[in-house]
Structure 1
Amino acid sequence: MPGSLKRCVPAVDCPKDNIVRVLNTNLLGAINCAQVVAKKMIDSKVKGSIVNLSSIDGIGAFPTNLSYNVSKAGLDMVTKQFALELGQYQIRLNSVNPTLVMTPIVTNFKEGLLIEKAITARTPMGRVAKVEEIVGPILYLLSDYSSMVSG
């Protein structure tokens, strides 16, 4: 289908338009959001926290997933850069890097079982995470309980 994203293709075959679209969404979109929110926080003298949702694929490569892996690795560095620069304003940035999470998109994967097995083999708990299991760490990072956690 023209214009659709190709999933699970080897890096050497990954179309440039796929890479650009994923980077625009996962990386540049997050940078834009952080810039807008941080500027408002600085102007309003609001202390607080921004949390990016990254992935274990930003920490270690996963086969046939070039665009996503690169976007999430970049997001982790963006988080560190913003954390470094915004600390003086008492604005913290962190990213959460979950494993595969059972969202509607994951539930509808056509490859399903093969992807799930490959990912859970690399996951210490050996299973796909539930959305609720990711919410808790995000709430912690947004709270004052993590007032010295940044980057």
Structure 2
Amino acid sequence: MQFSGKSVIITGAGKGIGRATAALLAARGAEITAISRTQSDLDDLRAAIGGCSIAADLSSPEGARKAMAEAGTCDMLVNCAGTNVLESVLEMTEAGYDTVMGINLRSALICAQAFARGRVAAGGGGAIVNVTSIAGHRGFQDHVCYAASKAGLEGATRVMARELGPHGIRVVAVAPTVTMTELAAKAWSDPAKSAPMMARHPAGRFAEAEDVARAIALLLSDDACMVTGSVMPVDGGFLSV
């Protein structure tokens, strides 16, 4: 799974899974275009792995389109930008909904559209990995908008695979379990909440960002050339038992 000569756009590359994916793919030879909101995160990443960086607010459709135009045509796209607002069904706000759906779903669709248009114009080929979540498969307290956004992205993944397949573009998703990032810490820092959840994992632990990055690398590689339209759980067996 080497990526020499390949170029990869990664959204949400400043932190967590996105950063781990950028580091892994760069170590395997890829040229990375990193998109993130925070310039200091991008500066730190670029110092570590090189490549290009684009500071952008993907919650804005205009910001997402501008960032993708600046990124140009690349070989692969990883839609990893994400956020969460912890609200119950009874407490859900329009602001929370707009924040979560705007970044987790709308920006992913805009970035995928721009990427695919560039690949089609270049003659086709390429791959997209959308990062979703087991929250799209199971009902977790206070995750109503987050779950909706991730389930929606999985549905869109299947449509993209169908429509873009004739152009040689594969589209897949990874659905991680709780992954120990800054975002996850906000939701799972309380041992009373995390311990029962962890006990449901046959692997006996939550995921690390590098675990998910390796799954993304596999799905981007030629070893997965017949994999499209699928969702790969990276969940330590959580969804299976």
TM > 0.5: yes
Contact kept, 8 Å, 1:116 with 1:128, in 2: the verdict is no
Q: Which runs of 5+ in 1 are unaligned?
A: none
Contact kept, 8 Å, 1:9 with 1:65, in 2: the verdict is yes
1:143 aligns with 2:221: yes
For residues 111 and 7 of structure 1, the distance between their equivalents in structure 2, rounded to whole angstroms, comes to 15
Q: Deviations over 1:20-73 (max 9, x none)?
A: 210000000100010000110111014121000000001222122101000000
For residues 82 and 11 of structure 1, the distance between their equivalents in structure 2, rounded to whole angstroms, comes to 30
For residues 138 and 165 of structure 2, the distance between their equivalents in structure 1, rounded to whole angstroms, comes to 27
User: Which SS does the other structure have where 1:102 is aligned?
Assistant: coil
User: Which SS does the other structure have where 2:228 is aligned?
Assistant: coil
- Residue equivalent to 1:101: 179
User: Which SS does the other structure have where 2:127 is aligned?
Assistant: strand
Contact kept, 8 Å, 1:56 with 1:97, in 2: the verdict is yes
Q: Which gives a bigger RCO, structure 1 or 2 (Cα 8 Å, sep 6+)?
A: 1
User: Which SS does the other structure have where 1:78 is aligned?
Assistant: helix
| Distance change (3 Å), C-alpha of 1:41 and 1:126 | same
Q: Deviations over 1:73-98 (max 9, x none)?
A: 00100111101100101100001000
More helix per residue: 1
- Residue equivalent to 1:133: 211
How many aligned residue pairs are there?
A: 147
What are the equivalent positions in structure 2 for 1:1-150 lying under 5 Å apart? 7-107=85-185, 111-150=189-228
More strand per residue: 2
* Structure 1 length-normalised TM: 0.88
Q: Which runs of 5+ in 2 are unaligned?
A: 1-82, 230-241
| Distance change (3 Å), C-alpha of 1:6 and 1:53 | closer
Contact kept, 8 Å, 2:84 with 2:183, in 1: the verdict is no
* Structure 2 length-normalised TM: 0.56
For residues 169 and 125 of structure 2, the distance between their equivalents in structure 1, rounded to whole angstroms, comes to 5
